[in-house]
Amino acid sequence: MENSRMPLLGEKVPEFEAKTTHGMLNFPHDYKGKWVVLFSHPADYTPVCTTEFVAFQKRFDQFRALGAELVGLSIDQVFSHLKWIEWIKEKLGVEIKFPVIADDRGKIAEMLGMIHPSKGTNTVRAVFFIDPTGTLRAMLYYPQELGRNMDEILRMLKGLQIVDAHKVACPANWPNNELVGDEVIVPPAVSESMIAERKEQASKGEIQCFDWWLCHKKLEEPKGHKGR
């Protein structure tokens, strides 16, 4: 589990074993072949974190439909996690179905760069997107004072899966881009032969182009893709 620095995009996430609300976890081995959204929260029994857990759970089935698992983490003991989850179910009527890592010594959070200066021993609101090979594909960091946008997290997951499946790029605000709507960006030409290829594709109506370096197209399967 030792690592001298936090992982970078495109690197394998460090391996570790941890106690969770669902028992012992061997990470990322236990999720081999699946996407994982690993997120940290500052502490149990805190207002914003409670709203986040409810929001994540409300979208639990949507993450599962994309072949992804949710995993929470904070520097709390497992009995604190269990009692808080019990409170959420009893008081708010929401059953938390994803595991929560009990990183009571903070070693995992420190290894993953989830503890920032001036925040003491609390983790910030970090989100790691890990692909089925155990590679870190994207990261988000929110301050403690700002709750996360769960729909953006879902959008990022869908976008990463589409990028992998179709070898394209997703424009700003995809799938509601101001220029191309729900279409995706075709990789730009990097040679004279590719420029000719892009122009030929455009003439056949296979793609649409503002110019040879800015082309887009509609996906054949824009909905229901699970990234597997």
Task: For residue 170, indicate whether it is catalytic.
Answer: no
Cβ neighbours of residue 146 closer than 8 Å, sequence gap 6 or more: 48, 125
Radius of gyration of the chain (CA): 20
Can you tell me the distance from the alpha carbon of 50 to that of 48, in angstroms, rounded to the nearest whole number? 5
Q: Would you say 136 and 128 are in contact if contact means Cβ atoms under 8 Å apart? A: yes
- 49, 170, 209, 215: which is the annotated catalytic residue? 49
Residues serving a catalytic function are 49
